[in-house]
Amino acid sequence: MLTPSNTPRNAFWLPILAGLCASLVSIGLARFAYTPLIPSLIQAHWFSASDVVYLGAANLVGYLIGALIGQPLARRTSNKSALRLMMLAVTLSFFACAFPLSVSWFFGWRLLSGVAGGAIMVLVASTVLPHVPASRRGLASGAIFLGIGLGIAGSGTIVPPLLSLGLQQTWLGLGLLALILTAISWFGWPAVAHQAMTTETHHAAPTRTHPGVYLLFAQYALMAAGLVPAMVFLVDYVARGLGAGQHVGALIWVMYGLGAIVGPVSYGFLADQLGAKRSIRMVLLVQAIAVAALSVSSAFASLAVLALILGSFPPGIVPLALARVHELVPGHHQQQVVWSRATVSFATFQAISGFAYSALFNASGGHHGLMFEIAAGAIVVALLLELAVRLMNRPDPVVQASCP
């Protein structure tokens, strides 16, 4: 029987490729390809500006649902079957969105694509990584979540040429691409899940949860609130808010995509060199500054640099948070449980933030800068949480001095 230590090289690279395709389709394209489409959806009068914004938030609500049902779905079928089903669901949603029959029709399909993304995010790492040698799991994790960055960059380069053919043709083209990637991944998923390991640990005595886990949940949730405005409104901010036009907005989105490609690798490198805890602190500081600067920037050069930095955040924090889970929690099964809960925490605040920012956008008459300022505040709070926990846990100097 082959184990991760003696599995042939291509046997574990195929699951990694499948995982990359899954994150590319379900997050990289299903969520992020919508952003450069927002101005065109409004200008083509498919939906009103307020409806388009809420339709973007539908994907975030679906992501929360998917994060909650991912594990139960896998238990009823298998990880491989659940992942295949979710990728098919995303592909079907692209084709369905080519026909704007009504707001509710579009909302339902955007919601379904989010459900698939949340389920895949919960399942993909736990499905692939046990089949990878321990010495290569960091690289494998980065490669899996690199699909998110590739999807963001791809949406910035593929969507504009497709839009020249028409809005309906754009959705059909994205559906065809998703179908090809689903086919590539179909036979790459591991044939045998590591059920024995899960069964062995499932009945183990419960261990006390490290306080750092709760801090991570809170920080991860606030990170979600901090990344939503740039993730959803960046292209619209450049194209309509600054009046730079769709072409410049697409170029800025490409820079955001390049940052998303660099993010998983660079953040993973930081975690290896400095540890996940210190890396999270550094990343939060840089991102808070970048989001705040975006609210007052209008020059193309500054927007491009900020987009590059901000783009690294959504996909980069995933392997970083996963590395922090591995630092705090022993045992594969417990790590999987904590990671699932962290994803739910992230998804909950992402969904709430999606609708809150959408309401704020409409109430403020389309004031993008205000949303970026609030996002910067959320990231600052995430940064200060660690300081607050450290102060609360600091030993009393009087008591310490009285100890023999």
The predicted pLDDT at position 207 comes to: 56
pLDDT for 317 beyond 50: yes
Q: Which amino acid, residue 372?
A: F
**Mean pLDDT, range 10-21, rounded to an integer:** 81
Least confident stretch, 48-52, 232-236, 294-298, 310-314: 48-52
- What the block records as the tokens of 135 is 């010495």
Q: What is the DSSP string of 384-400?
A: HHHHHHHHHHSPPHHHH
pLDDT for 120 beyond 80: yes
Asked if the structure places residue 382 within a domain, the reply is yes
pLDDT in tens, 366-379: 788 888 999 999 99
User: Which of 295, 281, 187, 163 has the alpha carbon at shortest distance from 242?
Assistant: 295
Asked if the structure places residue 3 within a domain, the reply is no
- What the block records as the tokens of 155 is 């949406």
- What the block records as the tokens of 108 is 């339902």
The count of structural domains within the chain is 1
Asked if the structure places residue 271 within a domain, the reply is yes
CB atoms within 10 A of CB 19: 29
- What the block records as the tokens of 118 is 């949340």
Residue 87's domain comprises: 9-188+210-393
pLDDT in tens, 45-95: 888 877 887 787 788 889 889 988 888 888 888 888 899 999 999 999 999
pLDDT for 23 beyond 60: yes
The predicted pLDDT at position 211 comes to: 76
Asked if the structure places residue 1 within a domain, the reply is no
Asked if the structure places residue 108 within a domain, the reply is yes
List the CATH number of the domain containing 104: 1.20.1250.20
pLDDT in tens, 154-173: 877 788 888 889 889 999 99
Asked if the structure places residue 306 within a domain, the reply is yes
For residues 154 and 229, which has the higher predicted lDDT (pLDDT)? 229
Asked if the structure places residue 202 within a domain, the reply is no
pLDDT in tens, 162-218: 888 988 999 999 999 999 999 999 988 886 544 434 444 444 445 567 778 889 999
Asked if the structure places residue 219 within a domain, the reply is yes
